[in-house]
Amino acid sequence: MSVRINPSILAADFVNLERDIAKISNADLVHVDIMDNHFVPNLTFGLQMTERIQQVSTIPLDVHLMITDPDRWAPDYADLGAYGVTFHAEAAADAVGLARTLRAKGARAGIAVKPGTPIEPYLELLEEFDQVLVMTVEPGFGGQSFMEETMPKLTQLRELVDKRGLDVWLQVDGGVDERTIEIAAAAGADTFVAGSSVYRGDDPSLRVSELREKASA
Ligand code: DX5
Ligand code: ZN
């Protein structure tokens, strides 16, 4: 199984994003966290900044929308060229309709669930999505501890994806480091978002390689 390592630039230096994205050019995608201070109690940036990130990044964008009205905004991120656009199940008015819109625009459509949100309602709809993001922390901030109690969701998803032979990426986000990545990989994740564990220290690209090795072991 191929694994993907997607560093989150939430942990990068916001006034040196181009430099910090260049440091992770051996990663698969760059994870871009959009927070609106409503869906989560924190604020990052929006479309205009993401458009510039898209222009300067040598690897594709994995956009994670932590916003209250994804039905309104997610298509714009697909339009600017994001490779994947993930919105939260808790926020979407019409998750399937939105996923279809994103796919029609050429983006991979992703659905995310917070740690306390059950995955069951979406299991029958898996064909509608290209990736499922199981949050392993409460969304909003980097540097939190991995919540292992979310792992049964991945096990359940992995079983179904394999049984149905689907090409759906199973992503984890939050508290992913050299230790917890092995737990998530064993539970069935194949796509790993890591912020602080990649950008702490002075060699983010080495951290990416280490994480890839652990996830593939
Ligand atoms: C949290 C964000 C994450 C965050 C992860 O709400 O969605 O992408 O950057 O940061 P770490 O890896 O530090 O937990
Ligand atoms: Zn994220």
Binding site residue list for substrate: 8, 64, 140-143, 173-175, 195-196
> Global pTM?
0.98
Q: Which residues form ligand 1's pocket by a CB distance below 6 Å?
A: 8, 10-11, 31, 33, 64, 137, 139-140, 142-144, 173-176, 193-197
In terms of residue numbers, what domain contains 155?
Answer: 4-216
Q: Report the separation in Å between the CA atom of 12 and the middle of ligand 1, taken as the mean of its atom positions.
A: 11
Evaluate whether 107 touches 75 at the Cβ level (below 8 Å).
Answer: no
217 pLDDT band (50/70/90 cuts)? Answer: confident
Q: Taking residues 197-212, report their average pLDDT.
A: 97
213-217: long-range contacts (C-beta < 8 A, 24 or more apart)?
214/178, 214/181, 214/182, 214/185, 215/3, 215/5, 215/181, 215/182, 215/184, 215/185, 215/189, 215/190, 216/3, 216/185, 217/182, 217/185
Quick: pLDDT tens for 102-147. 999 999 999 999 999 999 999 999 999 999 999 999 999 999 999 9
Query: CATH number for the domain including 80?
Result: 3.20.20.70
Q: Report the separation in Å between the CA atom of 160 and the middle of ligand 1, taken as the mean of its atom positions.
A: 26
**Predicted complex: ipTM over 0.90:** yes
173: annotated active-site residue: yes
Q: What's the total number of domains in the chain?
A: 1
Quick: pLDDT tens for 142-189. 999 999 999 999 999 999 999 999 999 999 999 999 999 999 999 999
